[in-house]
Structure formats: structure tokens, C-alpha cells
Amino acid sequence: MRLYQNKVLLFVFILVLSTLSILLFFDDSNFLSNNIISSNAVVNTRVNILPAEQKNCSVQLSTGWNMVSFYCLGLFNERSIVLQSVSESYGAIFKYQSSDVTDPWKSYNPNLPNWTVQQLNYMDRTSGYWIYMTNDTTFFYSGVYSNSVIPLYSGWNFVGYPNLNSTNISVALSEISFSVVDYYNKSTGTWLVYYYGGSSNTLNNFNTYKGYWINVSSISQWNITRG
């Protein structure tokens, strides 16, 4: 009887270890292990159980406002860790959270005093970001590359493009009911626009490291398969 119990306990122990090992190779496991398991707080979170491969982001951010996204992030990465490579070179960062209709703009400014309430504590690959750089600096982050699901809400959405391949907008959004896609071209100081069904569009493709404004008519889901 005791031998049987020991075998059962050994099986359960191996099963738990195997489960934890698998999770460590899935997307957002870094957030899972560092921020949930090590904390006693109750956290409302969302984790994609999708295979991911290790990838590094590396992109030049120039002085002034940059409209960007980072494909190599998980869904919950601490802002201070993500921006560590440019920690001495940026003055503010903003994101627009369409799901929060009363207060959609979230921001962080490293120059504000400690008592200031700052709302942008985590970063993810599905969001677009406005980052104000005080000087030209290369952003670098060692992360993951995975399939993504971006929720889109009726009206304007500020989103990222978590893919390494450039894709035609009409193809990428073929299953989404949208009207306009905007991107700010920093080098020329002009807005590039794609109108659904338009004949004189100045914007045609989604590209890596860019952030985009997308106007949709109804709540939908944008599925992006890593290329």
C-alpha cells in the first residue's frame, strides 16, 4: 500500500514539473513567473497559451515623437524593463486603450514626481505607442515572437503590428469591417492614410515596428499569424 502511494505521489510531482516546464516555453511565461507566481496579490490577467520563439527587437528611435510598436513583447511586460535600453533617452510614452471609454489615454513620464499617478505600467505587442525621445537611441529588447489576437472596438483603435513581414492593408484586414488606417510619417511630418475602397491612398502596407490608427464600424478581432 505504501509503495502504491509513493508511486502516486511521484506521478503527481512529475506531472506538475512537466506542466511548469511547458509553460516556461509559452508566450508571456516571463510575466507569469515573475509577476503572478511571486506575488500574493489577486491579478486579473490574460495569457495566450501559444507556442512562441525567442526573438530580439532592435530599432532606431529618433529625437521627437515616434509612433511605434514592438512585436517581441508578450501581453504583459513591465514598462521599466521594456524601456531599459532607452531609459535615459525618452521623456514620455502614451498609449490609447479603446476599451476604456472614460479614460482611454494611458501615459508615463519619468520626469514627474513619485506621488503622481501614472497609468502605463505594462507594455504589450498588440498596442501602438507614442514615445517622445530626447535624443536618437536604439531600442533593444530580448523577447518572443508569437501569433497575436488584437481586439478592435467600434471607432478608433491605436494598435501595433506584431509581425515581421510587411502586409498589404486590404489583405491583412480582409475580415475586418474598417474605414480608415492612419500612420504618422515622422521623416516627412505628414500623415499617411489608407481609405477602404479609396483610389489615392498614401498608405498601403502594415510594417514592423509601426503603430497604426484603425477605425472600425463594430467590435471585431484581428488575428495575426506570425510570418
Kindly indicate the confidence band of residue 86, based on its pLDDT and cuts at 50, 70 and 90.
very high
Convert the pLDDT of each residue in 149-181 to its tens digit.
Answer: 999 999 999 999 999 999 999 999 999 999 999
Cβ neighbors of 166 (< 8 A, separation 6 or more) are 205, 206, 207, 208
Smallest CA-to-CA distance from 210 within 12, 57, 102 is with 57
The residue with cell 511586460 is 77
Question: DSSP letters of 96-142?
Answer: E-TT-SSS-EEEE-TTS-TTS-----EE-SSB-EEEEESS-EEEEEE
pLDDT digits (tens, 9 = 90+) for 16-60: 334 433 333 344 434 333 443 344 545 454 555 556 789 999 999
Q: What is the mean pLDDT of the chain?
A: 84
Over the stretch 171-207, which tens digit does the pLDDT of each residue have?
999 999 999 999 999 999 999 999 999 989 999 999 9
Write the burial class of residue 66 (CB in 10 Å: 0-12 exposed, 13-18 middle, 19+ buried). buried
Q: State how far the Cα of 160 lies from the Cα of 207, in Å rounded to an integer.
A: 10
Q: What nine digits make up the cell of 36?
A: 503572478
Residue 216 pLDDT > 70, yes or no? yes
What is the average per-residue pLDDT within 63-92? 97
**Residue 47: predicted pLDDT:** 52
Task: State the pTM of this model.
Answer: 0.78
